[in-house]
Structure 1
Amino acid sequence: MSGNIVKLSRNTENAPQNSVSTQTVAFSHYNNISAQLPVDPKSGTIVPGDIKEQTRQCLNNIKAIVESVDHAMDDVIKINIFLKNISDVDAVNEVYTEFFQSYLPTQTTVAAAALPMDGALVQIDAVMSNGEGTPPQEPCDLIKVAKNTENAPRSSSSTQTVAFSHYNNISAQLPIDPKSGEVVTGGVKSQTEQCLKNIKSILESIDVPFDDIVKINIFLKNISDTEAVNEVYTTFFPDSAIARTAAYVPARTIISASALPMDALVQIDAVVSHGDGTPPQAVEDRHGIVIRANNTKDAPSSSLSTQTVAFSHYNHISGQLPLDPKTGKLVAGSVKEQTGQCLKNIKAILESVDHVMDDIVKINIQLGNIADIDAVNEVYTTFFKSDLPARTTFGVAAIPMDALIQIDAVASNAEGTPPGL
């Protein structure tokens, strides 16, 4: 494939516009949509009403963005829902199902400590299929493949796995026993094991190896449970002889949630490489397209995650804390200094694989104090020369190492990974 694939960054007046993000950024066969608050695009203010009205506005904004690029809501592959109150989840899902006619996307729902704009009860972002590709790719009628298995918990508001082209998105898995439908007994270790077992069952049901995961997001009720989670996590990765030889682990972000559905202690979702593609793409050998994992000494490294994992035309970057890569310690200073360090780390990772910051299509920012958002934005915009990426920002109760901020990213990878160049 040509290395000249174009990134398409677009905004519509029919949804709220933002000076620090682009509403939708398409690259190759996916389209990344910025988090939408329940804001009326005409007034620029939060809509009046309860959680149902706010959810409807968020989804109307996403629908307006989707339709502005000649797509439909059923092209949405993945939805992330951030709630002020986890008790609102049933009301949100009631509205949510009104927007999807033929199927339900994969879904992750968490309670955030805070959302941008006072009065917001919900924020929603999305990933959408983009079958036409971006120039100079030729449009094609790629098929979306949505599947469920009885060997993992099923939900009335989401599909377990939705594949499109060379990626597969897995709904967030709670620590639920699929037979009983109940959260497993025991502490966070038992719950982590069940979440990962559920993901593994979903992947086995579609004949995809566990080590094809390129990015993991772990949502924790208590950030202090990280070490216990890691103990279990390392028993699942690496999972194959090939991965063990390469010491491969996915990119990863650990996120503090104020609360999780069903009062769980942990919830995990995943993005998975899908070498087979979806019809009418030619079926390739499972390992025909290569996962390219890379670390650089110019950014903080971890034995539990890879800094950047590329597959096909995307590159997934682990959550970056404001750590000095030389000392491994948090940088001194305010949130501005910490924001600068997180972004410097991401920049170093991208440059180590011959990419630049303007190749980023999506940024996710977690803040210890949502009031810091303006200070963050001051620093943030200095790192991009071209159109700003799609973005999601929310407040969390805690960040690893008592940091003030954590940032992860998804970048375009026009050169692809062998042999799908």
Structure 2
Amino acid sequence: MNNTIIKASRNTDSAPKFSLSTQTVAFSHYNYLSGQLPIDPKTNEVVAGDITAQATQCLNNIKTIIESIDHVMNDVVKITIFLKNITDIAAVDAVYANFFQSYLPTRTVIAVSALPMDKALIQVDAIISNGEGTHPQAPCDLIKVAKNTDNAPKNSISTQTVAFSHYNNISAQLPVDPKTGSLVAGGVKEQTGQCLKNIKAILESIDVPFDDIVKINIFLTNIADTDAVNEAYTTFFPDSAIARTVGYTPARTLSAASALPMDALVQIDAVVSYGDGTPPQAVEDRHGIVIKANNTSNAPKSALATQTVAFSHYNHLSAQLPINSESGKLVTGDIAAQATQCLENIKAIVNSINHDMDDVVKINIQLKNIADIDAVDDIYTTFFNSDLPARTVIGVSAIPMDALIQIDAVLSNAEGTPPTL
């Protein structure tokens, strides 16, 4: 590995194209796909029909993109499904089974308040394994390692953890007691604790420490529950004596969901560093690979999250709100001012680790009002000089601090982290 690894941004005419995102961006051993709406690429319109037709179109678009880069659906590591109506999940699952049979990727499902294009009922994005790597990496026979444990809730249509190369992705964990299969008793604090216990049980089952988590995504049905969630959260992070000494917390995004499966109040998924790698990488590499957590005073800091956590060939950034780092308050002004501030915060973090915005491979945007997307897009393109990253946009019912927008990102890291230089 070296610092000349090249980002591969690709589009196919056989799937919907957008001027403000790339369908798939590969870097090192992963591909990130933009959120796919139920759009027929021939008409560029949302397909006619119900949720079944729309889910089929979304997954067909993903399959088409994957096949255009000489991959197959079994190379998918993680799927995220955004629904307008959580009760549509049964119909989506019936379609989903046609695309994934023997192997099931990790998965997160949430209901959101709005999606781009009014008639869309569903949006799906994905992360794909990329065994060939990107130039000048030589192709290698990296193997996905998909595992479940009885100590955490099992799901018939997803795998608890899928490792590939130097990362594990963990399926979203609901506050379900694995012994009973039911939601735990209590409120959001107890539910948050159960979600994190489930993640910890999954990690223990594959002999990975809890503090190897580099990114946490928390989905809440009531943003006012944030303080209760944080109270439970801080009993899990930092986890080890070493992490407590340095005050390590992973990057974090907290999102409002309109609804969650099983009427849960909270759901949590995680991205985990994996020093062991997957075969044929050597197990003994594990304890030599270093997580690099960085904060800069040029962007808002949080006691509960690190601005960016690098591991191997990626940096995962915490969600950025439109907060002025000097005042610690939301910027004044409309959506244009707030979008600019979010992107300025991301740029400040990216620059602080000697990267630039064109190293971003994936952007996730949350909007309080989906109609604001045009104003956001006017600003968005001014932050990138070359190929645009993959992108997913959703509308949410609320954002922390009553902001209008929140943005997070995944950044390529060609230099890697020691000893992968």
TM-score range, shorter chain: over 0.9
Post-superposition shift, 1:159? Answer: 0.3
Aligned counterpart, 1:47: 47
Post-superposition shift, 1:284? Answer: 2.5
Aligned counterpart, 1:418: 418
Higher mean Cα deviation, 405-414 or 284-293?
A: 284-293
Once the two structures are superposed, what CA deviation does each residue of 1:288-317 show, in whole Å capped at 9, x if it has no partner? 110000000000000000000000000000
Post-superposition shift, 1:245? Answer: 1.0
Once the two structures are superposed, what CA deviation does each residue of 1:189-210 show, in whole Å capped at 9, x if it has no partner? 0000000000000000000000
- In 1, are the aligned partners of 2:8 and 2:27 still within 8 Å (CA)? yes
CA distance in 1 between partners of 2:285 and 2:361 (Å): 28
Aligned counterpart, 1:147: 147
Aligned counterpart, 2:182: 182
- In 2, are the aligned partners of 1:37 and 1:58 still within 8 Å (CA)? yes
The DSSP-based 3-state class of the residue aligned with 2:32 is strand
Aligned counterpart, 1:203: 203
Post-superposition shift, 1:185? Answer: 1.1
Once the two structures are superposed, what CA deviation does each residue of 1:147-196 show, in whole Å capped at 9, x if it has no partner? 00000000011000000000000000000000111011110000000000
CA distance in 2 between partners of 1:361 and 1:75 (Å): 18
| Equivalent residue letter for 2:100 | F
Question: Residue 390 in 1 paired to residue 390 in 2?
Answer: yes
- In 2, are the aligned partners of 1:74 and 1:101 still within 8 Å (CA)? no
RMSD: 0.6
- In 1, are the aligned partners of 2:108 and 2:269 still within 8 Å (CA)? yes
Residue pairs, 1:14-163, within 5 angstroms: 14-163=14-163
Question: Residue 286 in 1 paired to residue 290 in 2?
Answer: no
Aligned counterpart, 1:373: 373
CA distance in 2 between partners of 1:100 and 1:260 (Å): 22
CA distance in 1 between partners of 2:237 and 2:93 (Å): 33
Post-superposition shift, 1:264? Answer: 0.3
TM-score (norm 1): 0.99
The answer for unaligned runs of 5 or more in structure 2 is: none
- In 2, are the aligned partners of 1:97 and 1:104 still within 8 Å (CA)? no
The DSSP-based 3-state class of the residue aligned with 2:12 is coil
Higher mean Cα deviation, 301-310 or 101-110?
A: 101-110
Once the two structures are superposed, what CA deviation does each residue of 1:208-259 show, in whole Å capped at 9, x if it has no partner? 0000000000000000000000000000001001111111000000000000
Post-superposition shift, 1:102? Answer: 2.7
The answer for unaligned runs of 5 or more in structure 1 is: none
| Equivalent residue letter for 2:374 | D
| Equivalent residue letter for 1:215 | K
Once the two structures are superposed, what CA deviation does each residue of 1:50-109 show, in whole Å capped at 9, x if it has no partner? 101100000000000000000000000000000000000111111011101330000000
| Equivalent residue letter for 1:293 | A
- In 2, are the aligned partners of 1:307 and 1:349 still within 8 Å (CA)? yes
Residue pairs, 1:216-231, within 5 angstroms: 216-231=216-231
The DSSP-based 3-state class of the residue aligned with 1:355 is coil
State the number of aligned residues: 421
Question: Residue 212 in 1 paired to residue 189 in 2?
Answer: no
Aligned counterpart, 2:268: 268
Once the two structures are superposed, what CA deviation does each residue of 1:263-305 show, in whole Å capped at 9, x if it has no partner? 0000000000000000001112433110000000000000000
CA distance in 1 between partners of 2:116 and 2:284 (Å): 43
TM-score (norm 2): 0.99
Once the two structures are superposed, what CA deviation does each residue of 1:120-159 show, in whole Å capped at 9, x if it has no partner? 0000000000000000000001000000000000001100
The DSSP-based 3-state class of the residue aligned with 2:411 is strand
CA distance in 2 between partners of 1:411 and 1:102 (Å): 32
Runs of 4+ in structure 1 displaced over 3 angstroms? none
| Equivalent residue letter for 1:59 | L
Aligned counterpart, 1:328: 328
CA distance in 1 between partners of 2:137 and 2:256 (Å): 39
| Equivalent residue letter for 1:222 | N
| Equivalent residue letter for 1:245 | T
The DSSP-based 3-state class of the residue aligned with 1:316 is strand
| Equivalent residue letter for 2:177 | D
Residue pairs, 1:2-17, within 5 angstroms: 2-17=2-17
- In 2, are the aligned partners of 1:16 and 1:44 still within 8 Å (CA)? yes
The DSSP-based 3-state class of the residue aligned with 1:60 is helix
Aligned counterpart, 1:349: 349
